[in-house]
Each structure stands twice: as structure tokens, then as C-alpha cells.
Chain A
């Protein structure tokens, strides 16, 4: 493994991590200001119940955004995650309502089927876009339709319901007010952080985003790294599907329409560059929090739906402008 190590030299490495701390601190400060504002503006914002709500509400987006971070870091994009989530949910929904099996078998079967279904879509996205060097924007746009169509076809466009009780229980279980499903998402963030920062694979993901040709010339199989990034994104869409089902006790073929945009927004607000090579999954975590806190807080202070939508859009634009300056700043 050490033979293919391409980690930067140590002084630069230190500088990079300081920079990334500053970057993340900026997002963290923005989040803190937001929290401060909403806790003054609404008496309910900091209540224990509302904090539980916010954690529940950001879970699915956070899970999708973790996978999305990998794809954006290699300079790609995955527009299919919302549809892939629906497809995985329908596959898992079909599995969990199979007759003649015990609850435990059904749950295990459904989780495996859902996660696998998501991953297969991700592998296809990766293989097709990497093998023919096609823009992932278009390939995943295709997958957006393929997966949605498959979800509708398999389910006959019907909502699937009545899941085993233990499964429902998992979806609403709390540990000291923290939803278990959020802990699952947090575990994914930690794993992703470890993979991206402490493994050669992770460093090469950054490397491909920065200079794909250099990584290729260094003798690394860029193709497989790209496929892996998209597979991870499909995998997280599968996990999101399971969480969706456990939380709402249904699986719907029209679930997740537009979820890809929120996931991308979380990654970008979190400071990951759309052109790849720069960013972090911790930023993604903060980005998901910013979107979740904003959605929650703006309702609490009683803003209308339309104003709320405008403000969310504005935050995304501001994040990208900030990213522009950050890129300029770190280049000089």
C-alpha cells in the first residue's frame, strides 16, 4: 500500500489541514450564527423536542450527501440519488412484505436488497461514465429516469406498506433524545472522514479531482477509483432508502423527488468545490445542518413557504460565491 502513497509532503500537509480547519470554521461560524438567530427569534427552537426533530430531519439528506461528497470530490456529480433511493426503497419494500418469512429474516433481506439495489445503480453510473469518459451529469441524469421508472414499474406505482413492527421501532428509536437513525448517519460521516483522510484510496479521490492525469500517470487505476466513488454514492442512497422506510413505514415509488439537489447543496455549502479535489465530509455534515436548521427555523419564525424557498436558494448562491474567494485565497 505504501508503494502507491501520494500524500503531500508534511509542511504542505500541515498547511492544508490548517486551511481546511479555517474553511470548516467559517461554515461552523455561519451555522452558529444561524442557531443564535433562531434561538432568539423563536422560543421553541432550542427545545429538546425541536433538536430531536432537526436531527431526524437532516438524517436522510446527510446520508445522501456523504456519498455525494465522494463523487463531487472526483469532479463528478450524481443527479440520480433521489430516484435511486426510491428504487432501493421499492426493492426493499417488496422484500420486506414477502409472505411466509419471520420478521428478522424479512428485515435482514430488505436491508441487503435495498443497499444492494442502490449500489448496483451507483456501479452502473460509475462504469458507464468512467469507461467512456462521459460527463457524469448526463449519465446520472439518465439513471435518474431509469431508477425512477424501475421503481414505478416494480411497485405498479403503488405505495408499499405494513412492515414488521421491529423495523418501525428502529426508525423512531431515541437514545437520550438523539434519533438512532441520525447516529447511523453520523457513523457514516466518521467512516467517510477516515476513508478520505487516512487511506490511500481517500487521498487518491482528492488526487483525481485535482489532477486526474497525474494520478493516471503515477500508475493508479483511475477507472476503478471513479467506479468506487459512484458505488459509494449508490450505497448511501440505498442506506437512505432503508432509513426512509423505517421512519415512515411505507416505501413509495415517488419518494425522494428532488432530494439530489438538497444533497448537492449540503456538499457545496459545506465547502466542497464543484470542480473537485477540495473539500471535506465534515463540511458536508455542517452543510446538512445549515440546510436542516434553515428549513426548521424559518418555519418556526413563521415565514411563508415561498420566502423560505427564496432564502434557501440565496444561501446556496452565497456559499458558492464564498467558495470562489476561498479558492482564490488558497491559490495565492
Chain B
């Protein structure tokens, strides 16, 4: 516990030293992210740091964690920020239920709290008597955009499969639901839906086998780009250039694939800007603006070739 607090403090001080020396009257914003092992959050951190430098009217203290489910160090980070007396906390919760209580304490301490990326659980918020807006992308809507692109390209009745993320993860569930929305709307024929745990190699294996079982597959919806890369490689090995694939996240590695048509489309959630936008909203509230309510949707965009 002590060690973790020390680690969080150390992380904060390292980040502090890289930001510009803060004047006393500048508001302090604590940014709590999920795993910095994830490309998405790494980009987000870079975006937030650039934003802090550009705006220059606030001081950024950022903490990340070692893995996606390490909510205990997130709770510690919230406690540290309360002790340090920051003005605002901007948080991407690792657990949508466990984070409600510590954030409630922060709000009671007069700190402006902005919840972004993953929404806190409605039931848990109600139980704790917390009212907190959510700033974030619509994963389900984004997945539907990708699914729509596939549905439009293939037409009614086309046979498709879904490669899912980690079972039980909120964004994986939302993306699967979004794909299923597209399946329903375009009257596609969903043959199979399986997880590959977000991983390239596993997606490659799982999809190669699905293709053997269903050689008449026409389209694939992968819940992230790492898995889409695995699918594309499986199609190349099988010599099938007739099957269309969509992914999610628009990571740099798939952009050449979109360019040459191996990937039909992906979805950009502008992770880099998401933390920065949330910080803007926090500063607006701090400056006396109205409290946020409900779901503030952040932009999502389909990235497709010509």
C-alpha cells in the first residue's frame, strides 16, 4: 500500500518535472489513466502533455497503471490527489463500479471530477448517491459505423463473422453490440462470433479456423486493429482477397492496409484528444461554467480507403 502510494507519487513527480514550472495560481488537474502498456493510453498521455504545454494555464499531474484491471492503484491515485488538494480529477476508470466510492470522496472534498473513456456504472452511482457526467466515445456507435461500412460494401444477406475482444470487458461488449446492430440493420447473416482476446496471433489462428469451417465468409468485423491485422494475415495465407475486413482504433500499423485495400475501414476515437478534451471541460467547470450532465459524446470517425 505504502509502496504503491510511493510509486504513484514518484510517477507524478517524474511527470511534473517534465511539465513547465507551475505558478501558484494555476489550477492543478490530476489525470488518471488506465494501462500505459496500451497504445491507446500512451497516445492519450502524449496528447494531454502536449495540451498542457499548449494551453499553459493549468498544471497537469498524470498517473497511469501497469495493467487494465489494476483499480487498486487508481483508488490510491485518487486518494493522493485528494491529499494534494488538486482542483480537478479527470479519470478513465479501470473498474466502473469500484471507482465510484473514491471519486465520491473527491467530489465531497470539492474537487471537480470528470469521468471519461469508460462510463461509471449507473447502478453503483445511484447507490452511492453520486451524479457524474460521462465524457467519452460511443464504442457501440463506433462499431456500428465500421459494421455499416461493411454492410454497405457487401449488401443484404452477406455472410459475416465477428472477432470479439476480452469477454466481460465493457468496451468489448459495446463493440460487439455495435457490430450486431449493423448486422441487424443491413440484414447480414452472422455465421459465428468468437473472442481472440484483442491479440494478433490468436485472432490469426481463430479466424483461420473459422474460415475453414465457413469458407463462404464474405466479411469480418474485428473489435480492434491488432486482431484485424491477424485476420488480414490469415486471409493472405489462404489466398482470399475477396473477403472484406473492418477493424477498430485506427492504429498506425493498419493505415497502410487501409490504403491498399486489405482493410476496408477502421474507427478512430481520437484517443490522443480525448483526455485533452476532458481536461478542457474540467477547466470550463472550474472557471465557473455549468456542471456537466449525462453523456458528453466525443467524436468518432470512420477511417476508410478511397
A residues in contact (CB < 8 Å) with B: 42, 44, 47, 49-50, 53, 56-57, 60, 148, 152, 156-162, 172, 244, 247-250, 252-257, 295-296, 299-300, 302, 305-306
Contacts and interface: CB of A to CB of B under 8 A. Distances in A.
Given A49-B238, A248-B230, 17 more contacts: A47-B212, A53-B212, A56-B205, A56-B237, A157-B37, A157-B38, A158-B252, A159-B253, A161-B256, A172-B236, A248-B201, A248-B229, A250-B229, A253-B37, A254-B37, A254-B226, A255-B201
A311 B195 CA distance: 16
Contact of B205 (A44, A158, A295, A306): A295
B251 interface: yes
Contact of A158 (B39, B206, B237, B238): B39
A305 B251 contact: no
A250 B256 contact: no
A299 B206 contact: yes
Interface size, B (range): 20 to 34
Contacts of B210: 299
B236 A300 contact: no
B36 A157 contact: yes
Contacts of A60: 201
A51 to B, nearest CB: 10
Contact of A248 (B39, B204, B209): B204
A53 B239 CA distance: 13
B209 A172 contact: no
A57 B36 CA distance: 30
Contacts of A257: 197, 199
Contacts, number: 93
Contacts of A255: 199-201
B208 A44 contact: no
Interface in B234-264: 236-238, 251-253, 256
Contacts of B201: 60, 244, 247-248, 255-256
B42 interface: yes
Contact of B251 (A159, A253, A302): A159
B205 A162 contact: no
B144 interface: no
Nearest to B257: A161
A49 B199 contact: no
A138 B263 CA distance: 43
A57 B201 CA distance: 9
A53 B208 contact: yes
Contacts of B226: 159, 252, 254
Nearest to A254: B37
Interface string B120-153: 0000000000000000000000000000000000
Given A159-B226, A248-B204, A299-B206, A44 B213 contact: yes
B135 to A, nearest CB: 23
A271 to B, nearest CB: 25
Nearest to B230: A248
A77 to B, nearest CB: 22
Contact of B194 (A42, A56, A305): A305
B209 A53 contact: yes
Contacts of B229: 159, 248-250
B110 interface: no
Contacts of A302: 192, 213
Contact of A49 (B194, B204, B212, B230): B212
Contacts of B38: 157, 254
A250 to B, nearest CB: 6
B176 interface: no
Contact of B212 (A152, A162, A300): A300
A299 B200 contact: no
B252 A159 contact: yes
14 contacts: A44-B212, A44-B213, A53-B209, A56-B208, A57-B208, A60-B201, A157-B37, A158-B252, A160-B253, A252-B200, A254-B198, A295-B209, A299-B209, A299-B213
Interface string B31-47: 00000111100100000
A158 B226 CA distance: 11
Contacts of B212: 44, 47, 49-50, 53, 300
Contact of A250 (B37, B200, B206, B215): B200
B167 interface: yes
A327 to B, nearest CB: 33
A60 B230 CA distance: 15
B233 interface: yes
Given A157-B42, A305-B167, A152 B208 contact: no
A134 B236 CA distance: 46
B249 to A, nearest CB: 10
A304 to B, nearest CB: 8
A57 B42 contact: no
A172 B238 CA distance: 10
Contacts of B237: 56, 172
Contacts of B36: 152, 157
A231 to B, nearest CB: 24
A248 B233 contact: yes
A248 B236 CA distance: 10
